[in-house]
């Protein structure tokens, strides 16, 4: 399975960005895809998940601002990030698991995901 992220960049607070994740290989049936982020000097944290049925979960700090959804036309999974805050500044990583079971950002940990992208930087200035 190969995972490739795109998108990211620099915006001012209140702005929007969209991150895309393309997962290819043996991931056509049940899966769990997650976005993690890591800010300088901080531990990596889970941001959102989506499973193969389209069920999504979010960490509390992004609820109501971020939306994780499938783009079937482009075969990507997109994280739309609105009302961005400086605290959202981090390297964002897309991760894939070929098991859909309990795809929830509250319970999944990094070790559950075998396949990772290279990361994409998001910088939000105040």
* 8 Å CB contact between 68 and 58: yes
Task: Determine the pLDDT at residue 27.
Answer: 72
Would residue 109 be called left, alpha or beta, if left means φ above 0 and alpha means ψ between -120 and 50 degrees? beta
* 8 Å CB contact between 27 and 96: yes
Nearest to 52 by CA among 103, 91, 1: 103
**pLDDT tens string 70-100:** 998 888 999 999 999 999 999 999 999 998 8
Pure H helices in the chain: none
Helices (H) and strands (E) in the chain, counts: 0, 11
- H or E segment and range at residue 49: strand 45-51
Query: Cα separation of 82 and 18, whole Å?
Result: 9
**pLDDT tens string 19-66:** 999 998 877 678 999 999 999 999 999 999 999 999 999 999 999 999
């Amino acid at each position: 399975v190969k995972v490739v992220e795109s998108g990211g960049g620099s915006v001012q607070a209140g702005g929007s960005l969209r991150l895309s994740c393309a997962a290819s290989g043996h991931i056509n049936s049940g899966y769990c895809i997650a976005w993690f982020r890591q800010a300088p000097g901080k531990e990596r944290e889970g941001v959102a998940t989506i499973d193969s049925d389209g069920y999504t979960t979010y960490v509390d700090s992004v609820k109501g601002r971020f939306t994780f959804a499938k783009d079937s036309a482009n075969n990507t999974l997109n994280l739309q990030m609105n009302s961005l805050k400086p605290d959202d500044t981090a390297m964002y990583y897309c991760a894939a698991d070929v098991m859909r079971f309990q795809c929830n950002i509250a319970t999944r940990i990094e070790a559950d995901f075998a396949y990772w992208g290279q990361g994409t930087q998001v910088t939000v200035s105040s």
